[in-house]
A and B are shown apart, each in its own frame.
Chain A
């Protein structure tokens, strides 16, 4: 029986497996594809690792720093393996995998899920019209261009003003697609300022804020889209419709954690993150089952996603060394004013410091960020120069500050005038 099995060989998964190996545990890692690396395989642009390694690496470079060590280790790497089901009976977990070598059963004391997320598709943003070919998601396009050398088309409309959309726009421009138009419902680009400059402005890529795709036009291959202007609440403004010709529509409209598999084994799912409810060690509500990376909430930086892997590795160690905590003895960390989602949702009082990632619900300079207890008492205030919904923020909260509370909420308020 293994001490721990990591499911998913993306950046968080490999980082977690390696850390656990370095802690001397018997570790296995399961990956569905034929090699480790996950999404970073296809991310050939740079900028990865600025926090973790203090340098800007490409995706494959970043992830290979872990993979190379992992391949030299005794960690059992199971490639081409699809996890069909997981049976949890007390402290022993059995993973059933389907592989080209047969059905494989793996017994383990604990599991770390690192299966990431999927891209939102055209149906999830209510795009109307016909359903022809030529409508793709940004990640799939990145894979197509970078791994197969095929371009999606020559007249491209990109939906979404976030980082992925901008990076794909620049990349298509490099590869020779001259006609690119970006549209997004927000007033401004939502990605990092450096990407706005380096991906869009530097190359004069056209963009149209406060715009959504109302309808797709074309029966076989997409021929055009009907764009429409939207108001502050993203409601279409009648009479502003405009048909724009294109041969591809690329969607970069958000990511959804793959939490179905965790739901199947009884883990509680958070409606705000769409990922599992976790504690400060990223343990789910099922004992001995941990969850990290983009599966718990969508990160802006791979460095942050990998941080969850390091923390969860400590959690697994804690669990395997039988330093049990009472599952039901926790402080509830709740969404207060202007916070869209956060992790961890519960705090089992096992680490001295809690790393909280949260997504603010408003855009403002020098907001008042506060931790408030059930009685409404402000426990601590934090300062940030600037917050906005598209940037995930991190806070370190000392346990002693909240140890006697039942629940605390995190609030973000605009600076008083």
Chain B
């Protein structure tokens, strides 16, 4: 059966039609709600030959007017900026998340001029900062996916990358628990003895075999007390566990910031607060990227815009996929939970959910414990809200992985990020179908972070196929140094530093023991807000969550940047901490 007839069979909802062009499926019409919108997209995306689903179906009456408003805003900026030359580059990367920064650094090994455009006020403001920092081993993705291939390769590259970039990284290993819930769905469908046999004998072997086939080398099946020796917090319900030593952890923003700093040092230009609003083109070729800060002319464009990558593709004239945002909520626990969690711990659930299933319980690289993320389909790409109900649900749900005594009251923060999956649920990394000099790097969802170094290599190959990055940059510096931290120094080293500069001896964040010198260094490296400093130094990441040190940090920012205290911002412009009113002035 050809694709066309498969689709005809599948698309049976009234008011929905489809078109097929170069293996991309466009769906149009109306459905009654968002769930239906998701479902029809996923159903079509699951067909093997489909290379992308553009879901133009309307589920919400206001959608058209919202889209129009946004497009009008963009068009207005486009018209005012399309003729203003802001610079000329060989390659422009759109998006400074972990993927954009990884690609930038990889390409900077060659002699080409490179620009990264980012609409946010810092690098790493999207999904890259709000994930659990897990470097997956590659056991979960299906065998024929690009995800699987790049995950396996990406995982192996992390030791080298992190040592070059001075980013803390640890292979803690993961434990996938087999519990009474693992196969619950089938419990009533088969005789008890058979159920138990399948659960205890067949499932572990199949899971191990799947991992092996995927390319994960060491997988061990662990039984009984050994599970609790490895992981004292594991639920007592655990019957067996798969132990995979290659799983790693790191802080995703530390990595992204390190990549951006190293790329900058190797000649890459990064423009923050610069929003792409359109493209100048000659026939099917992009000649310039039009932004809120003028037009940057270029020869090749890489679309690494995360949740916005479908809109960028659309603006460029090659919309081949629609992003359906998927929120993940995470909970962070205090470092003083003793003992800590040793491994990335999760429950095996069969059958594996088709979309990302969400994370388990992980150790974080600086000693906290992190639960999540969850996986919730949401209509908005920017909705990072966390509700009270979500927190309560999580505290309940994740308890099934852990022992009941886990001190939940030691939670110190919750937050959410939005993943950028497409309806084919695999990475889309390829030259655009209908624009000559555009490469899509889209649909980067879990295990995107684990795959990132391999994605960068893969994109390099595509870029070279387009005739770029042929000559090595002999001046490439692979090493970058992080900001030294008082918390990691021995006393002699600290004494020496204080003798050189007394601000190493002025502790600002008492929870994490962060000195004034570290904060000043972060500002010197480009941090301009409280949150940017937090990501670079960890100041404010402890149990008080800035309630003690916010004002102290704001004072340092004010002094260093020479701006009044009442204009210091949390993250982006318009996020002033104190609303800018000085006592005595008229309200």
Contacts and interface: CB of A to CB of B under 8 A. Distances in A.
Contacts of B382: 219
Contacts of A208: none
B507 A32 contact: yes
B587 A176 contact: yes
B576 A221 contact: yes
Contacts of B579: 134, 151-154, 221, 247-248
Interface string A123-162: 1001111111110110110011100111111100000000
B572 interface: yes
Interface stretch (A19-27, A48-56, A98-106, A190-198): A98-106
B471 interface: no
Q: Give the contact-size bracket for chain A.
A: 35 or more
Nearest to B391: A126
Nearest to A134: B579
Interface string A102-115: 11000000000000
A181 interface: no
Interface in B570-587: 570-579, 581-584, 587
A260 B543 contact: yes
A131 B506 CA distance: 29
Contacts of A178: 587
B170 to A, nearest CB: 23
B550 interface: yes
Contacts of B566: 150
Interface stretch (B41-49, B57-65, B436-444, B491-499): B491-499
A175 interface: yes
A152 B554 CA distance: 13
A225 B384 CA distance: 16
B460 interface: no
B582 A152 contact: no
Contacts of B336: 260, 263
A82 B576 CA distance: 29
Contacts of B581: 150-151, 153-154
A220 B494 contact: no
B513 interface: yes
Interface string A235-273: 010000000000110000000000010010000000000
A103 B389 CA distance: 47
B210 interface: no
Contacts of B548: 118-119, 140
B407 to A, nearest CB: 10
A95 interface: no
Nearest to A213: B388
A121 interface: yes
B551 interface: yes
Given A103-B498, A144-B578, A152-B578, A121 B572 contact: no
Contacts of A96: 491
A139 B546 CA distance: 12
B3 interface: no
B576 A128 contact: no
A254 to B, nearest CB: 12
A140 B547 contact: yes
A215 interface: yes
A214 interface: yes
Contacts of B565: 148, 150
Contacts of A100: 498, 502-503, 505-506
A121 B544 contact: yes
25 contacts: A99-B498, A101-B498, A118-B544, A119-B547, A121-B544, A121-B546, A123-B411, A128-B387, A128-B388, A130-B384, A133-B570, A140-B548, A143-B551, A144-B551, A149-B582, A150-B578, A150-B581, A150-B583, A151-B578, A214-B388, A220-B570, A220-B571, A220-B575, A221-B575, A260-B543
